[in-house]
Amino acid sequence: HMLLLSVLRKGVVCVPRGCSSLRQRTSAVVSFSFRRALSIGTSHHKLTRTQLPQQVLVVRSLLTSSTVFSSNPSTTTSAAVKNSTDNEDEDDNNKLGKKKEDFATKIARGLGFLGGFYARKQVLARSAKELYSHCADHSMEPEFNKLCGLPDTFQSWFLVTHLHVWMCLVRLKQEGRDGKTVYWELVELFWKDVDFRMRTMGVIDSKVIKESTRELFHMFNGLLFAYDEGLAGDDTTLAAALWRNLFHNSVKETDFANVAKMVRYVREQVYVLDGCDKDKLMEKGEFNFQPPPPLE
């Protein structure tokens, strides 16, 4: 560093011919000084690991600065070294952090591929779990039972959850092979939850569980056909399907304004699902149900 400053002050450098511009002369001075500094560091081993990059920074700053031959070379060079050192340290830290992050991400992704985590079948299975989680959570909203006049029973839970699962199944039918995979994964998760809830309620006898599941299975398919027909038809057909299956507990005292609210809720929810982003729906199970219909 001191050698370079003394060279710049005294001008003790033989500038090659043809170096007419300021930048060419500066390059010649820096080239000579840098070679001299490196030779000193190599022969006497006086340049430490932290000092050697400063020589490089001086060269870079001199080659890019337009004030190399200012009235106060010492001040200019010191400022250039300080600014270059700060920028270089910041860049090195950013690069090092980026390399570490990239390396960790690559390791995690590699382990995921080796374990089958990113296999298409596994991605679709996780999406189905997320979809069913939305259906199960939203079906627990108390507004549905109040609106339809349903008691807080296992059968009421089955009917309301089935309605939301069916709306997801309608959307999945549009997605080809992947949609079919998620479709059946979602149905399987629903039946696993049915079995779990029956056992949680104290039904232990396997024969009773088997008979109950058979009856629920027939109900499941009947509801699918009824809702599909209502969705494809007009509001009157859909209202009849909802009234027969969700308002059966209060047939004689049914408020048909509530039936109309449920028809509108189903139509709007199917419309929202239809407009969901395909990638988010199929790979992450991301979507949001509409709020339950208001009671008043």
pTM reported for the whole predicted model: 0.61
Are 26 and 68 in contact by the 8 Å Cβ rule? The answer is yes
pLDDT per residue rounded down to tens, the chain (296 residues): 454 444 444 444 444 455 555 445 545 544 544 444 444 444 444 444 444 444 444 444 444 444 444 444 444 444 444 555 555 555 555 554 554 556 666 665 555 555 566 687 888 888 889 999 999 999 999 999 999 989 999 999 999 999 999 999 999 998 888 889 999 999 999 999 999 999 998 888 888 888 999 999 999 999 999 999 999 999 999 999 999 999 977 656 778 899 999 999 999 999 999 988 888 888 888 888 888 988 76
Q: At what angle do helices 176-200 and 206-232 cross, to 10 degrees?
A: 140
* Token output for 67: 């004030």
Are 291 and 265 in contact by the 8 Å Cβ rule? The answer is no
Distance CA 30, CA 34 (A): 6
Torsion 103-105-107-113 (CA) sign:
negative
Are 213 and 195 in contact by the 8 Å Cβ rule? The answer is yes
Phi, psi of 20 (to 5 degrees): -90, -35
* Token output for 71: 């009235």
Are 189 and 164 in contact by the 8 Å Cβ rule? The answer is no
Distance CA 51, CA 33 (A): 15
SS (H, E, C) the chain: CHHHHHHHHHCCCCCCCCCCCHHHHHHHHHHHHHHHHHHHHHHHCCCCCCCHHHHHHHHHHHHHCCCCCCCCHHHHHHHHHHHHHHHHHHHHHHHHHHHHHHHHHHHHHHHHHHCCCCCHHHHHHHHHHHHHHHHHHHHCCHHHHHHHCCCCCHHHHHHHHHHHHHHHHHHHCCCHHHHHHHHHHHHHHHHHHHHHHHHHCCCCCHHHHHHHHHHHHHHHHHHHHHHHHHHHCCHHHHHHHHHHHHCHHHCCCCCHHHHHHHHHHHHHHHHHHHCCCHHHHHHHCCCCCCCCCCCC
Are 164 and 289 in contact by the 8 Å Cβ rule? The answer is yes
Distance CA 163, CA 165 (A): 6
